[in-house]
Amino acid sequence: MGSNFDLSELLNSDSPVSLRRQISLVWHLSIPGMLAQISSILMQYIDAAMVGFLGAEQSAAIGLVASSTWVMGSLLHALCIGFTVQTAHLVGAGEKFKARNLLFNALLCCGIFSLLLLSLGAALSFRLPLWLGAGPEIFDDAFWYFLIFCLSAPFFEVVYLLSGMLQCSGNMKIPGFLNALMCFLDIAFNFVFIFGCGLGVKGAALGSACAALVTALLFLYFTLFKSECFALFGFWGSRREKTCFYLDWSAVKKAVKLAFPVAVESSAFSGALVVVTKIVAPLGAVSLAANSFATTAESLCYMPGYGIAEAATTLVGQSFGARRQELVRSFSWITVIYGIVLMTGMGLAMYFACPLVFNFITPDPAIRRLSVEVLRIELFAEPLFGASIVAMGALRGRGDTFVPSLLNLFSLWVVRLSLSVLLVKSYGLKGIWFAMAVELCFRGIVLLLRLTQTLQFRSGRGCRRFRCIPRRRDL
């Protein structure tokens, strides 16, 4: 299965790329990414909806450990970014042979890393609900949900890695299709385990794990045997030839260097959400469930933004690898504007549709009412939230991860948490969500300023801070 676009030929041709062509590339590369992101969040909707009909306590159990599963997922995803950014640079420079060897190193390193996280998470799974303040009525469900998620970490790691590698090579179609398929598999497995086997919350976790396993196997098949860029046997040149793989320590070190700030940011970011969950927990099961459901519903607005951010990373990264600085700038701003417009529209639609969304997720009227109230507070921040998401994707495409990660950490830990502690005593859950809205606006502004600053640095057709990869024809 070939890539949807062979961007390397376009980028290395030295011919000008019209604005209309750039917008078309952004549009076509974004759609599969958005569909993949929406399908992933639909998995959370499905789990929440199916478990929601079991009762408020079961919903609260998932809500209690949701932020902890985000910590695990963020760490798994962070290391993948270190390899996917390099993939975009190599493909942009026309070095597809090196890209295949990079995949070998990525699979090896990410596999080992996911097993380490599996072991750590499993060891902490019994204590975690107690640390988060779980009552005896939700402890068992929270424990099993987190444990099963940890055991499925290698499956999700393969999905994250291969999805990102294919996207950064220009192939958005296969990741979009397989991530959407994972959503439908989740529905089928959840129905079997939750209702057919009567496993309740454990069934929801098992359903997601099985869906991730099947999807990971399909990703391996399409990447290793069908991809033009990554297949075990290549077709560049006049004959069919086999690649000899080797451990590339320089690529591994660079991946760790790129991923480390992201990992620290993601873990600290998710850790802050754990703190927020701990702040919400004393407010009661209704507030805890409403906070979880509102977070899930709000993600339907911002997940398309992450799809655009993936397109930004691909386009900016490949332009950076091809030393096309003018395209680095234009693709950065086109994707940012696109993200702002899309998430503004999504936020406006969710403002009116959220009562129907919560009717689908939970039958409890108290949880529905509170979920609607808090979500509508945050939706006013969606435009700047969209700017922050896509700007982060564009910055990562350039290899800029350290300073943006620091800005994100300051925004969350200083702005959001301080305001949350200050407002929760007087306004309860509404105060926490108002603090979230203020922080998201602040984050969007500072990341836009960072993007503006980095795009001003030029040195010929390259970048001042990061050494570009030479193109094949220059060697």
pLDDT tens profile 297-352: 887 788 788 888 878 888 888 888 878 888 899 999 999 999 999 999 999 999 99
DSSP calls for 263-306: HHHHHHHHHHHHHHHHHHGGG-HHHHHHHHHHHHHHHHHHHHHH
Please give the Cα distance from 4 to 252 (Å, whole number).
Answer: 28
pLDDT higher than 90, residue 373: yes
In a domain, 473, yes or no: no
Quick one: average pLDDT of 98-105? 89
pLDDT tens profile 224-247: 888 888 886 544 443 444 556 788
The predicted structure's pLDDT at residue 243: 53
How many domains would you assign to the chain?
A: 1
pLDDT tens profile 394-440: 998 888 888 998 898 899 899 999 999 999 988 999 999 999 999 99
pLDDT tens profile 19-71: 787 887 787 777 766 766 666 666 666 666 777 777 778 878 887 887 788 77
In a domain, 238, yes or no: yes
* φ and ψ of 233, to 5 deg: -120, 130
Please give the Cα distance from 452 to 334 (Å, whole number).
Answer: 13
DSSP calls for 375-426: HHHHGGGHHHHHHHHHHHHHHHHTT--HHHHHHHHHIIIIIIHHHHHHHHHH
Q: Domain range spanning residue 388? A: 7-464
Contacts of 12-16 spanning 24+ positions with Cβ under 8 A: 12/92, 12/93, 12/94, 12/322, 12/471, 12/472, 12/473
As a whole number, the mean pLDDT across the chain is 82
The predicted structure's pLDDT at residue 2: 43
The predicted structure's pLDDT at residue 44: 63
In a domain, 296, yes or no: yes
In a domain, 199, yes or no: yes
pLDDT tens profile 174-233: 887 898 888 889 889 988 998 888 888 888 899 989 999 999 999 999 998 888 888 865
In a domain, 335, yes or no: yes
pLDDT tens profile 150-162: 999 999 999 989 9
86-90, 156-160, 236-240, 380-384, range with the lowest pLDDT: 236-240
Greater confidence (470 vs 393) lies with 393
Greater confidence (308 vs 458) lies with 308
Quick one: average pLDDT of 4-13? 58
- Global pTM reads 0.71
Specify burial of residue 151 (Cβ count, 10 A radius: 0-12, 13-18, 19+): middle
The predicted structure's pLDDT at residue 464: 40
Please report where in the chains the tokens 């992450």 appear, as a residue: 306
| C-alpha dist (Å) from residue 316 to 31, 148, 213 | 17, 37, 31
DSSP helix/strand/coil, 241: strand
The predicted structure's pLDDT at residue 419: 94
How many residues can be counted in the chain?
475
In a domain, 2, yes or no: no
